[in-house]
Chains A and B, each alone.
Chain A
Amino acid sequence: MLEIKPIFHALCRSKIGALLLLLQIAITTAIVSNAAFIIEDKVSYLSQETGYPEDEIFSFHVMLFGGDVSSHQQFELDEAMLRGLPGVIDAAYISNTPLSGSGSASDLSINPAPEPGLSARTSYFFTDDHALNTLGLELAAGRNFNESEVIVTDNNEQRANVTIITQALADELFPDTDAVGKTVYLGDIALKIVGTIKKAKGPWLKDSRPDSVALIPYINPNISGNFIVRTDASQRAQLTSTIEDEMLKNYDKRVIVRVRGLDEAKESYMAQDTLMMRMLIVLITILVLVTALGIFGLTLFNISKRTKQIGTRRALGARKSAIISYFLVENAMICSIGLILGCIAALLLGQLLMQHFSIAALPTSYIAGTAIMVFVMSLLAVFGPARRAANISPSIATRTI
């Protein structure tokens, strides 16, 4: 039997503890629902599909200091050496490592500059005909570069004239037609699209257009350059540890730095977001725990304060279940009011975050989910103490305490 009316009246008459708890529940709901949304946003960002077999790829940076070799020739020799190493599937030169937070971007237009026309900002990599295989990318249409299209130079006189772009970028620039065979312009450089890639991410996952990527077959390494190597996943660790020696064996007047897996590069780029997500998880866990402890503590306090009252209720005919339900209903009432206030506060906080931190609008499903979670958590927190209360002997009613 639910004693809703007398419990409500009793709460109204001694409301301070209930008010504090109610506020705690409201604050928890408001913060947890917003934090949960941000966490979910971060999780989907951190776990997004990049299109690369990250655990099979590693990259490294090379800086030459000996002036006795032509850098582009040396890099061609290095590529050949790398491709011949046991366990290596393929290797390529690339201007920047994807997902690393470092790269180049520009507007790619359907008309040459300065003619106006549809354009899209895109990140691009200078690389060669081994890039597709090395990065594990799949063509959606068209073909790979052929060897003759790859420009390898020490000066800026020669220019590439073909490109492979991601399908996302192709759809943006040529929404109604097939992009393969069309020409796009990087400034005034005309690039014929020879193929499209199903999916690839640029250097910046946080970018608003991480899927707009172009590969351009052009190697102009000057004195430094990046290599990407694809291996069997099981052999990557061993290869990363020996790659410096292998490279120096080929030519020793240079420095090999930033040897790291593509997944490690991504992890390093996302470190701040990962940290923020973990901190938010810790924050909401602590908040929920503190609220649960608050409910647990207040119920225990109420029980010790009302020991005689509980004994009297038992003496007057309350079954144990009636005592348990008394505390559950009391808590549910406080919690419900707290949750109503909490939901309103969550919406307001969500709007505030949206205005000041360009976070998407908080979906009501998050508020509802949090409210249900807080409600269940509060019932669980109160259940133990309530059972303890139910075990108070009715004989306490006749004792002087």
Chain B
Amino acid sequence: MLKMNNISKLYQTEMVQTHALRDFNLQVEEGEFIAVTGPSGSGKTTFLNIAGMLEPFSSGEYLLDGIDVGKLNDNQRADVRNQKIGFIFQGFNLIPDLNLYENIEVPLRYRGIKSAERKRRIEQCLEQVGLASRAKHLPQQLSGGQQQRVAIARALAGEPRFLLADEPTGNLDSLMARQVMELLEQINRDGATIVMVTHDPELARRAPRNIQVVDGQLADFTLYQGAQNLRNVAGA
């Protein structure tokens, strides 16, 4: 699903060169649920940005679902993001002037999906996150947990095979964090590949596979042979 070979990311100013990622290698298989941890400034967000094609890398090779990302132009990257990746952000990133329905509709409009199909998918996703009755509400009328569920619904509406979550529970209290995590686990069980960046070790432990980023490199690699892998085996 995702394969990074010797990915490096160099931030350069007139005075300083900073290696945010250095010879970063990672392979993520279809259906995995990976937690990415690491101290602040270790390069987690840079990894997430590159994985989500939100910023370019300096060298190396990145294949997403067989597509060589380094060879794509800006428009093609936007299209791949739209079609293959679902994003869940720490701050939810819902558009405050749009109601829940319109927020979830945003990526679908960019894909050019017809109105009736958009409606079907939005209603289905809102149902899935338990907010079907609040489609006309504005984001600020919801709690943090509910907003994150809307953001998850938005990520799911495009039916992506790959979900990137950036501290998805970072702004939530523990009860809401648990609910969101359960939702992500459910989505993973339904077949989506999830890469989740988190500071929270407890949350990370719930993911079947953990990776740690330190100083821009993959420092530790721990495999939790949990239900996910068992499911893969069973599926095979």
Contacts and interface: CB of A to CB of B under 8 A. Distances in A.
Interface of A: 1, 3, 6, 9-11, 13-14, 308-309, 312-322, 393-395, 397-400
B71 to A, nearest CB: 17
A10 B52 contact: no
Contact of B112 (A1, A14, A309, A395): A1
A308 B93 contact: yes
Given A315-B54, A316-B82, A393-B54, A322 B110 contact: yes
Nearest to B79: A317
Nearest to B112: A1
Interface residues of B, number: 36
Contacts of B31: none
Contact of B93 (A9, A11, A395, A397): A397
Contacts of B52: 315, 398
Contact of B99 (A1, A9, A313, A395): A9
A9 B97 contact: yes
B188 to A, nearest CB: 21
Nearest to B45: A398
A314 B184 CA distance: 23
Contact of B87 (A1, A316, A393, A400): A316
Given A309-B96, A316-B87, A316-B110, 10 more contacts: A1-B112, A6-B109, A10-B95, A308-B91, A312-B89, A312-B95, A313-B95, A317-B107, A394-B55, A400-B91
A142 to B, nearest CB: 79
B63 interface: no
A318 B78 contact: yes
Contacts of B107: 316-317
A398 B81 contact: no
Given A1-B109, A319-B78, A397 B97 contact: no
Per DSSP, are chain A's interface residues mostly helix, strand or loop, or mixed? helix
Interface in B72-97: 74-75, 78-79, 81-83, 87, 89-91, 93, 95-97
Interface in B150-183: 154, 158, 166
B150 to A, nearest CB: 13
B3 to A, nearest CB: 21
B97 A10 contact: yes
A397 B96 CA distance: 14
B98 interface: yes
B105 A395 contact: no
Contact of B102 (A6, A11, A314, A399): A6
